[in-house]
Amino acid sequence: MSNAPTNPITPAGLAALKARYDHLLGTERPEIVEIVSWAAGNGDRSENGDYLYGRKRMREIDRELAHLARRMKAARVVDPADQPDRSRAFFGATVTLADEDDARKVVTLVGDDEQDAGTGRIGWSSPLARALRGAAVGDLRTVPLPGGEKEWEIVAITYPAPAAPATAGG
């Protein structure tokens, strides 16, 4: 069994979901409500582009709010800085890999809700992340890819530094 919950997320990842939720609920939705009510007062709604677009956009926002609420409820915050075993690749680790041609790749194992392949942030349930779980420096891991398997050597594993404990007095 892994040492991370089923839907892990970093504290920063959860903050980003919450910020998006708050923006939609507090800023974007009220603006659309205002446009829709203004447009509704302009007569024939069947040919009113502002009204029709506004209603459509409001449904999209409400769907995204519901999705974000479900994701935040299911998420379990795991702070990678608190990882006790820093010698192995677990949730939140930044792992440097080398392939058979010594081409390097650096990836950070993050929650599926915060993955971004363009910045090297790979989702916890992705094939590469699953292959890397529990690996130590020097281990070889084979990753199934659409074009066949690829073997990577784990070159380095790092974690964010733990937060400095607050000291009393001064």
Q: Which residues pair with 148 in a beta bridge?
A: 145
pLDDT at 40 (0 to 100): 87
- Whether 3 and 91 have beta carbons less than 8 Å apart is answered as yes
Whole-model pTM? 0.78
User: Residue 169's Cα: distance from chain center in Å?
Assistant: 38
pLDDT band for position 72 (50/70/90)? very high
Q: Pick the last residue of a domain from 37, 58, 77.
A: 77
pLDDT at 144 (0 to 100): 86
pLDDT at 167 (0 to 100): 63
Q: Pick the last residue of a domain from 42, 77, 112.
A: 77
Q: What percent of the chain has pLDDT over 90?
A: 78
Domain that holds residue 90: 80-158
Give whole-number Cα distances, 85 to 89, 110, 162, 165, in Å. Answer: 9, 17, 13, 19
Q: Is residue 134 part of a domain?
A: yes
Q: Is residue 86 part of a domain?
A: yes
Q: Are 123 and 134 part of one and the same domain?
A: yes
Q: Are 55 and 84 part of one and the same domain?
A: no
Q: Pick the last residue of a domain from 34, 50, 77.
A: 77
Q: What is the mean pLDDT of the chain?
A: 90
> Measured on CA atoms in the order 72, 73, 76, 81, is the torsion positive or negative?
positive
Q: Is residue 168 part of a domain?
A: no
pLDDT by residue (tens digit) across 83-120?
A: 999 999 999 999 999 999 999 999 999 999 999 989 99
Q: Are 84 and 149 part of one and the same domain?
A: yes
pLDDT at 162 (0 to 100): 81
pLDDT at 2 (0 to 100): 43
Amino acid making up residue 61: I
Helix (H, G, I), strand (E, B) or coil at 27: helix
Q: Is residue 2 part of a domain?
A: no
Q: Give which of 27, 39, 117 is closest to 65, Cα–Cα.
A: 27
- Per-residue pLDDT, averaged over 139-150, amounts to 90
Q: Are 100 and 64 part of one and the same domain?
A: no
In angstroms, rounded to a whole number, what is the distance separating the alpha carbons of residues 111 and 90? Answer: 12
The count of structural domains within the chain is 2
